[in-house]
Amino acid sequence: MADPRAIRNKRLINEYNELMKINSSVIQIEPIGSAPYEKYKITYNIRTIISPTPTYRNTTVCTLTIPPNYPAKDGAPRIIAESSPPPWHVNWYTDGRWCSAYYSSNFNPDESLVNLILRCARVLQFDPVIANPDSAANPSAKEFWFANKNNKRIIPCDVQPLPIIDASGRIILPDKPKPTIVINSAPQNKPKISILPKNDGNS
């Protein structure tokens, strides 16, 4: 019979290797402690809304904690915003907890930590596709959501391309912007060339 602890450790090692594939300037992933890692510092350099004014913040730091019984059905990972105030999102509690499916009996042990972190990034972007106002963690933010969900100037608040996971589970990274080459076509002053008459020796 397979050792549950060995299975868990192998899963955590594989998760770490996959997480490092999406580690970038937009989503910075820093493991905490020793391998196999059970805690990560996630820095999202994503513009998010933090008040109904609205006011914005360009960086949100979160902590991802993996419980001892992960990936069992009751071993849901936790993501908590360390930055204050937390995002003013309908699916984010005011105490900093992100209310994902991982806080309920709907936790899917087959879903990877990469997918979890990318879903969190989309929530920070206020992606309307992923929001669930029917399960509001912040009732006050629910009112803000319905008042602004069709206002393209507010929602989404960030449109940076993020990595995606295709149907086969492969991570597809966004294309890096190509450098722009600027050619100055303005006329330049060329040096004047004086042509002297040929000396035929008669002068």
Domains of the chain: 4-172 (3.10.110.10)
pLDDT in tens, 111-156: 899 999 999 999 999 999 999 998 899 999 999 999 999 999 999 9
Say how far apart CA 162 and CA 117 lie, in whole Å: 11
* Beta-carbon contacts of residue 154 (< 8 Å; ≥ 6 apart): 49, 54, 126, 148
Mean pLDDT confidence for 90-106: 80
In terms of Cα–Cα distance, which of 15, 39, 13, 43 is closest to 29? 43
For 175, the token pair is 């294309």
What is the SS3 assignment for 40?
strand
Q: What mean pLDDT comes out for the span 93-111?
A: 79
- The model's pTM is 0.83
